[in-house]
Amino acid sequence: MIWKPKVPYKVNCFTWLRAKEVVLTHENLKKGYQLASRFYLCGEQAELANHLFLHCKWTEQLWRMFTSLKGIA
């Protein structure tokens, strides 16, 4: 169903990039460079896609707020 979605094209593209783990997170951007290793919102973990979208306490709150505004259970 990914090729005929009922979502905007840019959302579909972002979902595809996320699934392939190539979203431009801090970890993906720093390849070959010396940068800080902590996610700046929470300071707890490296900025990996799974942490950013699923496990960070700040993004969990954003997801809850977004779903409540959109009426999604």
Q: Could you read off the pLDDT tens digit of each residue along the chain, which spans 73 residues?
A: 456 667 788 888 777 777 777 676 666 566 666 656 666 677 776 767 777 778 888 888 888 888 888 777 6
Domain ranges of the chain: 9-70
Predicted local confidence at residue 58, as pLDDT: 84
User: What residue type is 25 in one-letter code?
Assistant: T
pTM: predicted TM-score of the whole model, two decimal places: 0.43
Separation CA 49–CA 51 (nearest Å): 5
The predicted structure's pLDDT at residue 31: 62
Spatial contact of 39 and 51, defined as CB atoms under 8 Å apart: yes
* Spatial CB neighbours of 57, under 8 Å, sequence gap ≥ 6: 42, 44
